[in-house]
Amino acid sequence: MSNTLLLLGLYQLAEHSNSTSSLSQAVSCIEGLQGCPGLEQLWLNENEIQVIQGLEQCSQLRRLYLYSNQISSIQGLESLNKLEVSS
């Protein structure tokens, strides 16, 4: 059974924090971030994520850290106007 990053209810935490992380936790799926429009930083490094999706409601997201994953598809980042792109 794969792990899923379930951040349901994180919107309560997001009122007091604009950053969250899950590093090296074998996370394979991102879900439940609809209640986190104020989230500015999301660290999901060293996991097993294959598809980046479900971030459309995170309108304040500026930094998304995803290194050392198994990403094959990225969806829904087009609407994140504040997301900074690094090279």
What does the domain layout of the chain look like in residue ranges? 3-74
Q: Is 87 helix (H, G, I), strand (E, B) or coil?
A: coil
Q: Which residues of the chain have pLDDT under 50?
A: 1-2, 4-13, 15
How confident is the model at residue 6, as a pLDDT? Answer: 44
Distances (CA, A) of 15 to 24, 36, 54: 25, 9, 20
Q: Give this prediction's pTM.
A: 0.75
How confident is the model at residue 11, as a pLDDT? Answer: 46
